[in-house]
Amino acid sequence: MREHTQLPEAHAAPDCAVPASPETDGHPATRDRVARSILDHGPSSAADLASRLGLTAAAVRRHLDGLAAAGLVDAREQRVYGSRGRGRPAKVFALTDAGRSAFYQAYDQLAADALRWISESVGGGKAGEEAVAAFARARFGRQGERYRAELELAGSDQRAEALARALSADGYAATVRRVPSAATPKAPAGAQLCQHHCPVAHIAEQFPQLCEAETEVFSQLLGTHVQRLATIAHGDGVCTTYVPAPGAAPSAASRQLPGAVPTAGTSTPPVPASARRNLA
């Protein structure tokens, strides 16, 4: 459930809410819509935002300037995977921690309270942790089942890209970076699956079972043991998952998606040094 949250104006004190006023382009609270679009789709250029919201690029830039002045968004150079064309790199805008908090605080608290109740209802402790983990596996298992058909249409060497597309459609702003093997340059490249946005990051800070369950589902969908290198919930800028090249250590649990746990006793392939060095 998402609640509309009024973002503070640039001149407001951090703890003061300022009522929305109609914007000059005819859209009330347009600045909130711009910020919400970045929240839902991840770092975005002014042109992307204008296209999604039906606004002019000039209007979007005015709102981005206001959000930046309030400390709610910041600008960064857009990451380009592969060869870059001529000209200056595109600039994209991402929500800061303060910008995310302006949206998350209401429904994050509800979600945290619900998970805490699940844990306490079975007595807390180890049993409580397992109950939350079971919920997380069921939730991400259902999400994974929606992705499975798209991944099965992709070739084995394109499954990471297919998963990134499915995640992006759900607002995770996912990309894939191919990582060559340092030991064997001619070997098939592994991949870094990068999620530039996480809708449950604030909850996962308190309940790491959410990240663990998501990683399990990635492993099951991709048919190989994957390794989490970084998460937004732990303070990293991007959730990064290393996916070995096709044929490396296939997962025996790959067909047991709903609520399944990876098979015990299997080994995780080593992550190339190049993948560890090049975290997105």
Kindly tell me the number of DSSP H helices and DSSP E strands found in the chain: 9, 6
Instruction: Note the pLDDT of residue 223.
Output: 92
Q: What is the dihedral of CA 123, 127, 128, 130, to 10 degrees?
A: -160
Q: Mapping DSSP to helix (H, G, I), strand (E, B) and coil, where does residue 133 land?
A: helix
Residue 118 and residue 20: Cα distance in Å, rounded?
37
Single out the residue of 258, 262, 224 nearest to residue 241, CA to CA: 224
Please list the residues that pair with 94 across neighbouring strands: 74
DSSP state, 252?
Answer: T
Report the 10 Å Cβ neighbour count for 35.
Answer: 27
Contact status, residue 275 vs residue 191, Cβ threshold 8 Å: no
Give the neighbor-by-neighbor strand order of the sheet with 174-179: 174-179, 190-195, 239-243, 227-230
> CA 59, CA 69: separation in Å to the nearest integer?
16
Tell me what pLDDT residue 146 has: 93
Asked whether 194 and 243 are in contact (CB, 8 A), the reply is: no
How far is residue 35 from each of residues 32, 134, 167, 191, 202, measured CA to CA in Å?
A: 5, 33, 20, 30, 18
d(CA 118, CA 129): 9
Q: Determine how many CB atoms are found less than 10 A away from the CB of residue 90.
A: 13
Q: What is the mean pLDDT of each run of 10 residues along the chain (280 residues)?
A: 44 32 49 86 89 93 91 80 56 85 72 94 95 96 93 90 92 86 69 88 92 96 94 89 75 41 37 50
What is the residue whose two structure tokens read 């703890």?
Answer: 15
Query: What are the residue ranges of helices labelled H in 207-272?
Result: 209-222
Task: Report pLDDT for 106.
Answer: 61
Report which DSSP code applies to 72. S
Tokens of 168: 């992006």
H-helix segments, the chain: 30-41, 46-53, 57-69, 97-121, 125-153, 159-169, 201-206, 209-222, 273-277
Q: In angstroms, what CA-CA distances link 175 with 109, 140, 168, 193? A: 29, 19, 8, 6
Please give the pLDDT value at position 80: 53
Give residue 189's identity as a one-letter amino acid code.
Answer: A
- Cβ–Cβ < 8 Å for 249, 217: no
Q: What is the pLDDT of residue 79?
A: 61
> Residue written as tokens 């109950």?
131
